[in-house]
Amino acid sequence: MGSLGPYQRKHKIGVVGSGNWGTAIAKIIAENAASNSDIFEEKVEMWVFEENVEITKDSPHYSSSLQGTQKLTEVINHTNENVKYLPGIRLPANLHANPSLEDAVKDCTLLVFNLPHQFILKSCESIKGKILPYARGISCIKGVDVNEEGISLFSETIGRILGIYCGALSGANIANEVAKEKWSETTVAYDPPHMDSKAPTPQRSPSSSQVELVQFQHKDTSGQMSKTKLQALPSDYPPIDHVTLKALFHRPYFHVRVIHDVAGTSISGALKNVVALAAGWVEGMGWGDNAKAAVMRVGLLEMVRFGDTFFGATINQATFTEESAGVADLITSCSGGRNFRSAKHSVERNLPIEEIEKLELNGQSLQGTLTAHDVNKFLKKQGMEEQFPLFTAVYRILEGRMQVSEIPGYIER
C-alpha cells in the first residue's frame, strides 16, 4: 500500500452528514481510506451540522478541559466519538469533523451524501458550483423527492442540483449494529453514462487525459427530461467504478455487492420505511408475528408495484428480492428499525409518533413519516391511492383519519 500505481492522484472523500448512519458510514470510509492509501487520500472530511452538546460529569469524556457546553465538531475531533448521534463508538483518527459544508466538500472527487432527506435540497443548493465539476456522488439517503414536477430519486436530485453523477447505497443496515462491526450486507448501485467504467472491471490503465463533456439525462414521471453536462474524471485519478466503490465501502464486517440498478436500490430503501411504520403499529397492538408478516407481504408487493409503475423502464425487479436493499432491509427495518420501534411505542404509549420521535430519538429523524406523506401526495396526484392501500392506510393513520385496527380490512383486496 502507499504506491500510486499508474495514477498520479488519489481520491479525496467527503461525507455530507453526521447523524446515526452518516457517522457510521463515515467510520467505514475512513477505515478504508487508511487501508487503501494507493487510491484514497487518508484524511476523510465529514460535514457536521454544528450544534452544542453538554459534557456533564456523567460523560466518559468529562475532564477539566472538556466540560460544559461544547461544539459537537470539537468534541468529535477531540474524543474521536460522535457523542450525540453514535455514542460509544470509536471513530478513526483520520476522520475529521468539519462544521463548514463548503470546506468539507472542497476538492473532493467522491461525495457521500448521508442526511435525513428533508435537509438534502438546502445542503446541495449551498454547495452548488463549489465542488469539483468532475466529482461523483453516492446517496445513502432513504426517501424520495416529491415536487411539483413529479417524483425523483435523491441520487437524481443531487445529481441535478450539483451537475454530477450520483449512485446510491442502501441495505439492511441498522446503523448501531454496523458501527459495532456486527456483520451485515449492503447494496451499492452505480451506473453512470459510458464515460465512467460501466462494468465491474478490475482494469486500471490510465486512458486519454482529455476531459470530455457528455449529456447525462434523467427524467421524472411527468416525462420531463433534464440534462446535466457530466464532466469526465481526469485520467490521472483511478477510475470511479465498481472496483473503486467496493474498496471504499467494503469491510470484513460490511459486505458490499455493487449493482447497476440505482432506482430499485433507492426506491426500496425509501418505501420500506413506510411499511415499517405499519409493522410497528401492528406489533404495538399485540397482534403477533403473523400480522406483522401480513403487513410486510403487502408492503413488499406495493414497493415492487410502485417501482414498476413509476420507474419501470429503469428498475430491475430482482433488486427487491435478491439484494440487501430489498427484502432484507424490509425485514431488518420491521424488526428493529427506528420507524418500527417508534410506531410500536406510539400505540403502546398512546402518543403521536412525532412525540415519540422527540422523546426517544435524541435528535435523530424518522424518515417513514415524511415519506408516507411524500408518497401520498404523489399517489393522490396520479389518482392512484386505491392501488396502494397499505401506503394509503399508513398516511391516513398518521393524519388521524384511520385507525390501526382498520388495516386488515383495508388492505384485503
Which lies closer to ligand 13P via its Cβ, residue 17 or residue 239?
17
Among 173, 187, 369, 376, binds ligand 13P (CB under 6 A): 173
With CB cut-offs between 5 and 8 Å by kind, which of ligand 13P, ligand NAI, none does residue 363 bind?
Answer: ligand NAI
Q: Is 299 in the site for ligand 13P (CB under 6 A)?
A: no
For residues 114 and 346, which CB has a smaller minimum distance to ligand NAI in the complex? 114
Q: Tell me: does residue 329 bind ligand 13P (CB under 6 A).
A: yes
Q: Which of residues 347-386 bind ligand 13P (CB under 6 A)?
A: 367
239 is in the binding site of which of ligand 13P, ligand NAI, none (Cβ under 5 to 8 A by kind)?
Answer: none
Q: Is 217 annotated as a binding-site member?
A: no
Contact 55, 68 (CB under 8 A): yes
Contact positions toward ligand NAI, by CB under 6 A? 17-22, 49, 85, 114-117, 119, 123, 140-143, 173-175, 363-365, 367
142 is in an annotated binding site: yes
Does the annotation list 49 as a binding residue? yes
Question: Considering only residues 95, 179, 276, 282, which one is a binding residue for ligand 13P as defined by CB under 6 A?
Answer: 276
17 is in an annotated binding site: yes
Question: Is 136 annotated as a binding-site member?
Answer: no
Residue 409 cell numbers, joined: 380490512
Give the interface segment with ligand 13P, choosing from 51-59, 126-134, 167-175, 191-199 (CB under 6 A). Answer: 167-175
Give burial (CB, 10 Å; 0-12/13-18/19+) of 148: exposed
Instruction: Give the shortest CB-194-to-ligand NAI separation in angstroms.
Output: 30
Catalytic residue among 10, 12, 27, 272: 272
Other C-beta atoms lying within 10 Å of the C-beta of residue 243: 19
Q: Which of 11, 84, 142, 242 binds ligand 13P (CB under 6 A)?
A: 142
- Our CB check for ligand 13P shows the closer of 144 and 232 to be 144
> Does residue 43 carry a catalytic annotation?
no
Q: Which residues contact 74 (CB under 8 A, 6 or more apart)?
A: none
Q: How far apart are the C-alpha atoms of 238 and 399, rounded to whole Å?
A: 50
Q: Give kind and range of the element (H or E) at residue 43.
A: none
Residues numbered 210 to 239 that lie near ligand 13P (CB under 6 A) are none
Q: What is the DSSP string of 177-229?
A: HHHTT--EEEEEE----TTS--S-------------EEEEEEE-TT--EEEEE
Q: Are strands 225-231 and 213-219 parallel, antiparallel or unpaired?
A: antiparallel
Q: Which residue is nearest to ligand NAI, using beta carbons?
A: 19
The answer to the question of whether 338 is labelled as a binding residue is: yes
d(CA 397, CA 409): 14
All three cell numbers of 373, joined, read: 406523506
For ligand NAI, which is the closer residue by CB, 28 or 39? Answer: 28
- Between 114 and 228, name the residue whose CB sits nearer to ligand 13P: 114
Residue 70 binds to ligand 13P (criterion: CB under 6 A): no
> Looking at beta carbons only, is 239 or 337 nearer to ligand 13P?
337
Alpha carbon 79 to its chain centroid, in Å, reads: 26
What is the DSSP code string of 279-346?
HHHHHHTT--HHHHHHHHHHHHHHHHHHHHHHHTTT--THHHHHSIIIIIHHHHHHHH-HHHHHHHHH
According to the annotation, is 339 in a ligand binding site?
Answer: yes
* 224, β-bridge pairs: none
The CB-of-303 to ligand 13P minimum distance in angstroms stands at: 14
Set of cell numbers at residue 266: 433507492
Q: Which does 329 bind (CB under 5 to 8 A by kind): ligand NAI, ligand 13P, none?
A: ligand 13P
Q: Return the number of the residue (105 or 267) whose C-beta is nearest ligand 13P.
A: 267
Cβ-proximal residues to 179 (8 Å cutoff; 6+ apart), any chain: 23, 24, 27, 86, 89
Task: Give CA–CA dist 178/262, Å, rounded.
Answer: 22
Q: 3-state class of 125 per DSSP?
A: helix
- Residue 193's contacts (CB-CB under 8 Å, 6 or more residues apart) are 165, 214, 216, 230
236, 206 contact by CB (below 8 A): yes
Residues with a catalytic annotation lie at: 272
Which residues of this chain interact with ligand 13P, rule CB under 6 A? Answer: 142, 172-174, 273, 276, 329, 332-333, 337-339, 367
Annotated binding site for NAD(+): 17-22, 49, 119, 175, 338, 367
